[in-house]
Amino acid sequence: MVESAVPSSSIAQDSIFSCSFPFHRHPRVRLEHGQGGKLMGQLIEQMFLPAFAPPGQPPGIPHDSAAIAVPHPKLAFSTDSYMMRPFFFPGGNIGAVSIYSTVNNLGMSGAYPLYLSAGFIIEEGFSTKTLGRIVQAMGQASLQSGVQIVTGDTRVVPTGKIDGIIINTSGVGYLDRDRGMSPLSARPGDVILINGDLGRHGVALMAQEPERQWEGTIESDSAPFASLVLHLIKSGVEVHCLRDITRGGLAGVLNAIARGGKLTIQLEERSLPIRKDVREACKSWGVDPLYTESGGRFLTIVPPSSVKLALEILRAHNPRSCAIGTVIGRSDRATGLIKLQGDWGNRFLENQE
């Protein structure tokens, strides 16, 4: 599965894709667009299906389910829901994020992503042009990620019941073998690697909030990385554990790993790749960048024998990929333990409430 070189920031930011949906007649989503009649059929057939069709192929025919072919009997399956404001932000948008995140979730189990479903809950009165931009972003992100959106659902709820739109994507991929990657596979002496700078996605979203003051633009790092994970595995890197650095940021993800494997983990603060503008924004807002979400970052835990090869592969994609710490032992605490070693002493990273 090879992802294209299309940058996420270029996806459906400023223009409506070419489609036959009559935006001039229906500038706002109506309840009827979710009730199974003529207007719903028009929305699906003239907006969704053309955006989700593979290049060079005609749009699909609406059906209650999709018949899919899988090359291996063992599957990986993931689902997630997405609700965010603003819908479009520097470096990304809700449509692309909904695709990338589910594809990345599949990659975290070492799976080859294949197919996605897309479910929409839309607030009555939502702009159809904004919906069109989101749908187009999803189609382009699925192409970039090497997956196909094959089925979906649309519901429209009365004004005020939700804030604009909620998107659910579920993904299916196949595993060519059981890789056994989990916190229980991590061992003392293992090294923790990450594939780039931290915290940019969360800061990019916070910077759009009216109450926060920040000059300049910080772009989200949202991106697909499943193919990079598969490259690591197929190249012979011995991967003990994988996690995407999303909700809870690096600290939250490492606490989950430490808890699951009853591990003691030590991080080197000077090794953490956090951009200067991200640090400054977090300091200004009283936010800890270690608890701030990344959109296109993951950590992998590998034995010392695999560090050199893994970093060569990761740095070919992002020069800021690096080693940030080690598993130094088992923990007697049920929650595990994360130690952050800095120039001015050590501190512990606990889960935030």
Q: Give every CB contact of residue 210 below 8 A, 6+ residues apart in sequence.
A: none
Q: Give every CB contact of residue 203 below 8 A, 6+ residues apart in sequence.
A: 218, 278, 281, 282, 287, 289, 292
- Rounded distance between C-alpha atoms, residue 258 and residue 261, angstroms: 5
Q: pLDDT at position 330, please?
A: 86
pTM of structure: 0.88
Mean pLDDT, to the nearest integer, of 262-285?
Answer: 94
- Rounded distance between C-alpha atoms, residue 96 and residue 90, angstroms: 12
What mean pLDDT is reported for the chain? 89
Q: Give every CB contact of residue 158 below 8 A, 6+ residues apart in sequence.
A: 31, 123, 124
- Rounded distance between C-alpha atoms, residue 75 and residue 86, angstroms: 34
**Are 331 and 337 in contact, with CB atoms under 8 Å apart?**
yes
Q: pLDDT at position 327, please?
A: 96
Q: Mind listing the domains of the chain with CATH numbers?
A: 8-174 (3.30.1330.10), 183-348 (3.90.650.10)
Q: Say if residue 9's pLDDT is above 60.
A: no
Kindly state the DSSP code that residue 291 receives in the 8-state scheme: G
**Are 296 and 314 in contact, with CB atoms under 8 Å apart?**
no
Q: What percent of the chain has pLDDT over 70?
A: 93
What SS3 string covers 235-258? CCCCCCEEEECCCCHHHHHHHHHH
Mean pLDDT, to the nearest integer, of 124-136?
Answer: 96
Q: pLDDT at position 17, please?
A: 54
Nearest to 66 by CA among 138, 145, 152, 142: 152
